[in-house]
Copies of this chain bind each other. A is one copy, B any other.
Amino acid sequence: MRNRLRELGYFAAILGSSLALACSQPEADSPATTRPSAPLASWQDTAPKRAILDFVRSVTASGGADFVPPEERIAVFDNDGTLWVEQPVYTQLVFAIDRVKAMAPEHPEWQTTEPFKSLLDGDMEAVAASGERGILEIVMATHAGMTTGEFEIIASDWLRTARHPRFERPYIELIYQPMLELLEYLRANDFKTFIVSGGGVEFMRPWTERVYGIPPDQVVGSTIETSYEIRDGIPVLMRLPKIDFIDDKAGKPVGINKFIGRRPILAFGNSDGDYEMLQWVSTGRGKRLSLIVHHTDAEREYAYDREGHVGRLDKGLGDAAENGWTVVDMKTDWKQVLAAAQ
């Protein structure tokens, strides 16, 4: 149990930040997946774009020294802060908080028990003070106790109706246009693209195929345990209040091995939670490419790195040059940041 709690750092880190909660308005979602004809059209013609084009040219050049057969062209992408916006707080935490509020009428005991009381009072400092045990209780109360099918409906409904507080758009529209182009460019060159995220795998799978073109079986993430049961004569998978796997930090190479079973040749992250993944990829034999999104654009998105609790990038930024990792400066390397509303 102590280990499990330690692993919850991913969820714990986010609570130190002030929480700006999204308001909910029912409205159909509209994923933004524009497909410009030139590869990487939203990338400036700067070093990162050239590094990507060079890399793909090298590993696909049949007979070349760096050629990689198509089946080994595995590319892994973090999600929060790499493919979609993670500020002011991780989307899945906003979901958990909204769920506590929505479920509160059925849980009168939450009015007097922590961390639910503080959460319902809007006192996030007190929620944070409840520590990892408190976070675990919030996650479990909102993510377990239903079937996998029921959870998919709950998560999908929320994602369809919730709006980001600043951009006032559905969260699944707050995706980076340059990354959509990169995913597509890689797949056009016979790469298989995977998400490797600290987020809950069943919070992502309902929409990643539609939004990113990444099918459910290519989404690696944190998991809770499930049990196979026959309920009223019908087989179901029940989500249990027990962490199965945290796909963050050193858990990312572990998750890559467990779920993908092949060492990727390209990795893209944005925070120190991606450090070990980038390291695992860049230290493999042969030509490799590891990249980091550096959030430098407060105007079009957000500017943050070494400070704060969401997507902190400190060690990775310091070691990038030495490790041969490419840092993508959002402000100077991307012509466009967010995908256009569809």
Report which A residues bind B (CB closer than 8 A): 71, 74, 148, 192, 194, 201-202, 205, 209, 215-219, 223, 226-228, 234-235, 237, 244, 250-251, 253-254, 257-262, 276, 279-280, 283
Contact A235/B202 with A209-B71, A226-B254, A258-B226 known, Cβ cut-off 8 Å: no
Q: Contact at B216–A228, with CB atoms within 8 Å? A: no
Q: Contact at B279–A235, with CB atoms within 8 Å? A: yes
Q: Choose among B235, B258, B280 the residue that contacts A280 (Cβ–Cβ < 8 A).
A: B235
Given A235-B279, A259-B259, 8 other A-B contacts at CB below 8 A? Answer: A148-B257, A205-B262, A217-B260, A227-B250, A235-B276, A235-B280, A237-B254, A237-B257
Q: Contact at A216–B283, with CB atoms within 8 Å? A: no
Closest 5 CB pairs of A and B: A216-B261, A228-B250, A205-B261, A217-B260, A228-B253
Whole-angstrom CA separation of A228 from B257 in the bound complex: 10
Q: Choose among B217, B226, B253 the residue that contacts A237 (Cβ–Cβ < 8 A).
A: B253
Contact A201/B261 with A228-B280, A235-B279, A235-B283 known, Cβ cut-off 8 Å: yes
Whole-angstrom CA separation of A328 from B215 in the bound complex: 32
Q: Contact at A226–B261, with CB atoms within 8 Å? A: no
Q: Which residues of B lie under 8 Å from residue A74 when comparing CB positions?
A: 217
Q: Contact at A217–B192, with CB atoms within 8 Å? A: yes
Q: Which residues of B lie under 8 Å from residue A262 when comparing CB positions?
A: 205, 215-217
Q: Contact at A228–B276, with CB atoms within 8 Å? A: yes
Closest CB-CB distance, A249 to chain B, in whole Å?
A: 9
Whole-angstrom CA separation of A254 from B227 in the bound complex: 7
Considering the complex, give the chain B residue whose CB is closest to the CB of A225. Answer: B254
Q: Residue among A209, A218, A254, A279 with the most chain B CB within 10 A?
A: A254
Contact A217/B280 with A227-B250, A228-B250, A254-B237 known, Cβ cut-off 8 Å: no
Q: Choose among B228, B258, B261, B276 the residue that contacts A254 (Cβ–Cβ < 8 A).
A: B228
Closest CB-CB distance, A315 to chain B, in whole Å?
A: 14
Whole-angstrom CA separation of A286 from B194 in the bound complex: 28
The 26 sampled A-B contact pairs (Cβ below 8 Å) are A71-B209, A74-B217, A148-B257, A194-B217, A201-B258, A205-B261, A215-B262, A217-B217, A217-B260, A217-B261, A223-B258, A226-B254, A226-B258, A227-B250, A227-B254, A228-B251, A228-B253, A228-B276, A228-B280, A234-B283, A235-B276, A235-B279, A235-B283, A237-B253, A237-B254, A237-B257
Q: Residue among A192, A201, A253 with the most chain B CB within 10 A?
A: A253
Q: Residue among A215, A258, A279 with the most chain B CB within 10 A?
A: A258
Q: Choose among B216, B279, B283 the residue that contacts A260 (Cβ–Cβ < 8 A).
A: B216
Q: Which residues of B lie under 8 Å from residue A201 when comparing CB positions?
A: 258, 261
Whole-angstrom CA separation of A258 from B220 in the bound complex: 9
Whole-angstrom CA separation of A122 from B13 in the bound complex: 55
Q: Which residues of B lie under 8 Å from residue A209 when comparing CB positions?
A: 71
Q: Which residues of B lie under 8 Å from residue A283 when comparing CB positions?
A: 234-235
